[in-house]
Structures are given as C-alpha cells and as structure tokens.
Amino acid sequence: GNSVTQMEGPVTLSEEAFLTINCTYTATGYPSLFWYVQYPGEGLQLLLKATKADDKGSNKGFEATYRKETTSFHLEKGSVQVSDSAVYFCALRGAVMDSSYKLIFGSGTRLLVRP
Amino acid sequence: DTGVSQNPRHKITKRGQNVTFRCDPISEHNRLYWYRQTLGQGPEFLTYFQNEAQLEKSRLLSDRFSAERPKGSFSTLEIQRTEQGDSAMYLCASSLIGQGDTGELFFGEGSRLTVL
C-alpha cells in the first residue's frame, strides 16, 4: 500500500541556517504530495503541495520538488527563522483511481530553530 | 472563523466509559475525515464520509468505534468502553471533492482524549 517515510527529528538549527527534511514515498501511479506544518498548540496546516512529477511547490520560503525517479519530496528552506519551529509532516494522496482521496502521513519531523 | 471546529478540545475519562467527539466541517465541504494522532507520530486515517455516506473505514477502527454524519453536515465519533490505548488526539478534516478540489484537507485543532 501507499506509505511515506520521513527523516526522524528533532532537527535543531541556528537561525538563518539551511534546512532540508527528507521525505520518500511508496505509491502506485502518480500520487499528489504535500507538506503540512503543525505549530505548537495549532492544527495541521497545508504548507505546500505538488500534483505531478517535476512540479515544485513553494510557500513562505519553503520549497519541495516532486521527484518521480527517486520517489522523493524533500522540504528545503534557505534561511530558517525561529518562527519556523514546528512539526513538519510529509503526506501523499493516492492517484486518481484511489477514490477516497485520503492523505497518508509520515511520522513527522520536529524542527527547532535557535536564535 | 469558518474553519473546521472540533469539540470538546480535551476529554479526560476513566477506562470503560463512552466518549463522543463532534466535528463541524467547513460548510460547503462534502468530504469529512477522521484521523488519530499519537505522540510523536503522524495522523493515521480512521474513516471518511462523502456527504452522509461512510465510504471507508480503516482496520484501526475497532468495533468500539462508530462514526456518523447525519444529514451530511457535522459528524460524531463515539468510542465505547474506552481503553488506555485509545488515548490520542482525534483529528477531523474536511475537503471539497469535485469542482474546486485543490487536494487539500483542512484540519481542525483536534480533540485530545486521555483515558485514565
């Protein structure tokens, strides 16, 4: 079945450092890929998405590129801020033939950015 | 605010008691999902509805769990005879399938269950 694997945390960085959080997936067909973020005390929010191979999703300085050949969707940011401290979840939605459109999530990666 | 609303936000109960959670989705959304999230893990899919029809249930959803969505609006998730292993955050999400579908699920803030 479909699954998502992401790097374990916590990831601790200094402000303005470069961030990479790895995410790989297993799925049949061409799933859609998402990054969600969960700030302390808040619900999950969509950060960015990509719906087909080679698409790049971007938002708030974060980027991720849908790589079909490596089944990856790594999250990157060039310069993190303290306010980026949160838990980041990689997720996939199955291909069109999977009519439920449910999201399958990775286990999450906690990011802590120090001033 | 017209986001997804969940109640109660936190429920503490004794083992063996029944609990019920309510979710009010974004009003025009036709899909409603329930997930469970335990500490340090990602959300795990439990079940979903399209309008009032429950179309899929995960194997995680034991016979003690039941979900409804009467009239295709709000939904309830009931857990009977709670066990300590049921302690988790229960998340509700909604989405729009069809015209206007962006693929995004919109999540509520969750209902945290603690079973003593």
Q: Is A106's Cβ below 8 Å from some Cβ in B?
A: yes
**pLDDT at position B40:** 87
Contact (Cβ atoms closer than 8 angstroms) between residue A92 and residue A103: yes
Q: Is A40's Cβ below 8 Å from some Cβ in B?
A: no
**pLDDT at position B96:** 86
Cβ contacts (< 8 Å) between A106 and chain B: which residues?
42
pLDDT grade for A81, boundaries at 50, 70 and 90: very high
Give the model confidence (pLDDT) of A84-103 as tens digits: 999 999 999 987 666 667 89
C-alpha distance from B32 to closest chain A C-alpha (Å): 10
Q: CB distance B103–A89 less than 8 Å?
A: no
- Per-residue pLDDT, averaged over A56-73, amounts to 96
Interface test with A, best of B105, B111, B112 (most A CBs within 10 A): B105
**pLDDT at position B1:** 55
Better-scored residue on pLDDT, A29 or B107: B107
Token code pair at residue A53? 């191979």
Contact (Cβ atoms closer than 8 angstroms) between residue A94 and residue A25: no
| pLDDT tens sequence for chain B (116 residues) | 579 999 999 999 999 999 999 999 999 899 999 999 998 899 999 999 999 999 999 988 889 999 999 988 999 999 999 999 999 999 999 998 776 667 789 999 999 999 99
Interacting residues of B91 by C-beta distance below 8 A, sequence separation 6+: A43, A44, B6, B34, B35, B36, B37, B43, B107, B108, B110
C-alpha distance from B68 to closest chain A C-alpha (Å): 17
pLDDT > 70 fraction of chain A, expressed in percent and rounded? 96
Cβ contacts (< 8 Å) between B43 and chain A: which residues?
44, 89, 103, 105
Contact (Cβ atoms closer than 8 angstroms) between residue A94 and residue A37: no
Better-scored residue on pLDDT, A62 or A95: A62
C-alpha distance from A17 to closest chain B C-alpha (Å): 24
Interacting residues of A58 by C-beta distance below 8 A, sequence separation 6+: A48, A64
**pLDDT at position A101:** 78
**pLDDT at position B97:** 78
The values of phi and psi at residue A84, to 5°, are: -80, -5
Q: What does the mean pLDDT of chain A come to?
A: 93
Nearest CB to B97; choose among A45, A101, A107: A101
